[in-house]
């Protein structure tokens, strides 16, 4: 099933679309570990699971399709195959799209991507923008295509107006839905929604949430994505940085408070960056189902 249909069905049912993200293991032969993770995630029945994609021909690239197909074939859950264009030429892209189509994966998250650290290869002139990749995917076959959005603006384009221009270009190129980069202040996401709807961007926009599990993780995200930290989260990290278990508990609770607030605001969906940790996904979906039950009881 195409994910855009899932969004439509959930909207009619007045429910958010709940999804998870995993990434292929970096070590050769480690794909079995992710299959075990998926076995633990399967009974949670999220609306879809996305699988990230490396650039530059790493082993993770090849495993993305295997894992995405496994999710659909073995767990009867829709998968979202991430695909980056920054290092691909036309021939490479056509070959990749054909392989995805042959495995029956119907959904692709189209990303420009970043040049791999240490790579001496030249980036692609064809896919310098995600909108070009979206057009290419649609011209190849009948895929459902998602795209990224940035509540605080892309790290290379911080201006809100420019951020909306690129979002509009992606939708006009054929983006069926958007998944946001992680953020730690919900107001940033609500501003993005307001700006998008004011710009007549109509596709569903899902909020990306990543629980904090370590200080190094936070520092890496700030460097890579340019996300800002609210004072409340800074205090949490400072208080528990010497106790990893307590930091993880506090980080999860902060993320769950974000999710609670997002769902109460009626967002299109929530996408949890699980970092391949089943307990993160299980806790998040259990929280959601409990909130849904409470809401149903109140409405009754």
Q: What pLDDT, in 10s, does the model give residues 3-38?
A: 999 999 999 999 999 999 999 987 655 788 889 889
**How far apart (Å, rounded) are the C-alpha atoms in residues 285 and 291?**
10
At 116 the pLDDT is 56
At 54 the pLDDT is 62
**How far apart (Å, rounded) are the C-alpha atoms in residues 213 and 180?**
20
Q: CA end-to-end span of the chain, whole Å?
A: 32
Q: Which residues pair with 207 in a beta bridge?
A: 270
What is the rounded average pLDDT of the residues 61-79? Answer: 92
At 299 the pLDDT is 36
Tell me the C-alpha to C-alpha distance, in Å, between residue 261 and each of 61, 77, 102, 264: 35, 26, 40, 5
Domains and CATH numbers, the chain: 3-299 (3.20.20.220)
What is the pLDDT confidence band of residue 300, given thresholds at 50, 70 and 90?
Answer: very low
**Highest-pLDDT range among 53-62, 137-146, 220-229:** 137-146
The closest alpha carbon to 222, from 183, 273, 280, belongs to 183
Say whether 32 is catalytic.
no
What is the rounded average pLDDT of the residues 146-163? Answer: 75
The closest alpha carbon to 121, from 78, 88, 84, 146, belongs to 88
At 215 the pLDDT is 86
**pLDDT tens profile 174-214:** 999 999 999 999 999 999 999 999 999 999 999 999 999 88
Q: What's the token pair of residue 223?
A: 């460097």
Model confidence at 59: pLDDT above 60 = no
At 120 the pLDDT is 46
Determine contact, residues 173/167, Cβ cutoff 8 Å. Answer: no
Q: What's the token pair of residue 86?
A: 């920054």
**How far apart (Å, rounded) are the C-alpha atoms in residues 70 and 31?**
11
Mean pLDDT over each residue of the chain, to the nearest integer: 86
Model confidence at 293: pLDDT above 70 = no
What is the pLDDT confidence band of residue 156, given thresholds at 50, 70 and 90?
Answer: low
115 or 175, which is more confident?
175
At 27 the pLDDT is 65
Q: Which of 21, 135, 136, 152 is catalytic?
A: 21
At 26 the pLDDT is 76
Tell me the C-alpha to C-alpha distance, in Å, between residue 145 and each of 61, 136, 268, 275: 18, 11, 16, 23
* Cα-only R_g, the chain: 19
What is the pLDDT confidence band of residue 286, given thresholds at 50, 70 and 90?
Answer: confident
């Amino acid at each position: 099933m195409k994910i855009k249909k899932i969004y439509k069905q959930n909207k009619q049912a007045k429910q958010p679309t709940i999804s998870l993200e995993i990434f292929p293991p970096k070590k050769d032969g480690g794909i079995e570990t992710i299959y075990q993770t998926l076995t633990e995630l399967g009974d949670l029945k999220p609306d879809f699971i996305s699988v990230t994609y490396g650039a530059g021909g790493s082993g993770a690239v090849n495993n993305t399709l295997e894992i995405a197909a496994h999710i659909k074939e073995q767990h009867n859950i829709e998968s979202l195959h991430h695909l980056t264009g920054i290092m691909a030429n036309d021939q490479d892209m056509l070959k990749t799209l054909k392989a995805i189509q042959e495995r029956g994966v119907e959904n692709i998250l189209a990303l420009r991507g970043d040049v791999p650290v240490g790579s001496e290869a030249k980036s692609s002139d064809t896919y310098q923008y995600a909108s070009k990749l979206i057009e290419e995917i649609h011209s190849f076959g009948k895929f459902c295509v998602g795209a990224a959005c940035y509540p605080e603006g892309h790290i290379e384009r911080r201006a809100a107006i420019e951020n909306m221009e690129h979002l509009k270009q992606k939708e006009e190129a054929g983006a069926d839905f958007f998944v946001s980069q992680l953020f730690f202040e919900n107001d940033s996401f609500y501003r993005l929604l307001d700006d998008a709807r004011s710009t007549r961007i109509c596709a569903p926009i899902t909020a990306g949430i990543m629980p904090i599990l370590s200080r190094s993780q936070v520092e890496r995200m700030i460097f890579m994505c340019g996300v800002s930290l609210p004072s409340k989260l800074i205090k949490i990290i400072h208080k528990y940085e010497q106790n990893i278990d307590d930091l993880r508990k506090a980080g999860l609770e902060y993320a769950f408070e974000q999710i609670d607030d997002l769902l109460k605001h009626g967002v299109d969906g929530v996408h949890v960056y699980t970092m391949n940790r089943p307990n993160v996904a299980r806790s998040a979906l259990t929280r959601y189902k409990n909130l849904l039950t409470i809401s149903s009881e109140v409405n009754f």
